Structure 1
C-alpha cells in the first residue's frame, strides 16, 4: 500500500471494508468497489475517493489513469478526512455527536421515517444473517479455546 497511489477496496462481508479506512489513514486514494456501499455521513467522498460498481471492474485501469494527475492531492485529502472523521479520537467525538443527533431527532420522526436508523439492516447481507440466526444456524458457535473449556466445565 505504501508504494501505491490508489488502493482497491472491494466490499467485505458487508457493504464496506476495513481496507477503505486503512487506505485513507495511509493517505492513499481508496477505490471503492461495491454496488451497495452507503457513504458515512459527513465527508465529501468524491473529493478523495473513487467509486466503481462491481460489474464495472474492467473500467478500473482507465479510471485510475484518468485520475493519476490528482492522486497525490486526493491522497492528502483522504488522510485529512481520516484524521478529522475516522481516527480514534475523532471517531469517539463523532459517535457521541451522532448519538445526540439521533436522540434529538427521534421524537420528530413519524411513519416510516422512525425506522431510518434501522434501514441498514434490510440490506441483503444483514437480512441473510438474521434469517440464518432465526433458523438456528450458528447456534452451536460459541467461544473457542479457554472460554469453551471453561463453559464446558460449568455444565
Structure 2
C-alpha cells in the first residue's frame, strides 16, 4: 500500500503522460489548409524545408533562394498551400497546380512536412497522409483558385 504522499506524485506522472500524448495529438493533427500568405515568412520556411537534406533528395531541382521559389508562384495555375495543426503551427507546405484546359486533373507537387513530424502520428493517420487528404479536399472545394 502506498502512502498518501506518494499518490499525488503518481497522479502527477499520469497527468504528465496524458498531457504529452495530448500535445502530440494536437501537433500531429491537421486543422487547416490554406494558401500561403506571401506577406509572411511562410515562403522562406517552405524553402528551408525543401532544402533540408532529408527532403531535397526528393525534389529536383530545389529552388536556390526565396526569389526563385517566388518566381514559381507567379505562374497563375500554381498555388502555394500551407497546413497547420490544432496548435496553429505550420506542419507542411505543398504546391497545387491547376489542371490544363479541357482536363480535370490537379497536381500536388513539392509536399514537405516539418522534420520532427515526419512519420509520426498518435495511432491515427500520419501528418503527411492527413495533409495530402486535406490538400485534395481543398483543391476540390476551390476549383476556381
The normalised TM-score by structure 1 is 0.23
Structure showing the higher strand proportion among its residues:
2
State the structure with bigger RCO (CA 8 A, min sep 6), 1 or 2: 2
The normalised TM-score by structure 2 is 0.24
